[in-house]
């Protein structure tokens, strides 16, 4: 596992954020999440809302 910012490979677990494992880099002390997911509605849902408003 590598930190996206500094590419250092020595990381430790550092709690959870929104149910996902957080890790911390031992070199630069930055915290990060391995997998990111987008929040919000799908494009289909957005289009349905826009057509109902107009």
pLDDT, tens only, 2-53: 666 787 788 889 998 888 888 888 888 888 887 777 778 888 988 888 887 6
Exposed/middle/buried for 47, CB within 10 Å: 0-12, 13-18, 19+? exposed
- Which pLDDT belongs to residue 11? 85
Cα–Cα distance for residue pair 45/21, rounded to 1 Å: 29
Contacts for 9 with CB less than 8 Å, ≥ 6 apart? 1, 2, 3
Tokens of 45: 């849902």
| Model pTM above 0.95 | no
Point out which residues pair with 22 in neighbouring strands: 33
At residue 54, the pLDDT reads 57
């Amino acid at each position: 596992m590598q930190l996206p910012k500094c590419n250092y490979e020595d990381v430790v677990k550092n709690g959870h954020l929104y149910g996902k494992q957080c890790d911390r880099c031992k070199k630069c002390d930055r915290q990060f999440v391995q997998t990111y997911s987008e929040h919000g509605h799908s494009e289909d849902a957005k289009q349905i809302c826009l057509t109902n408003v107009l």
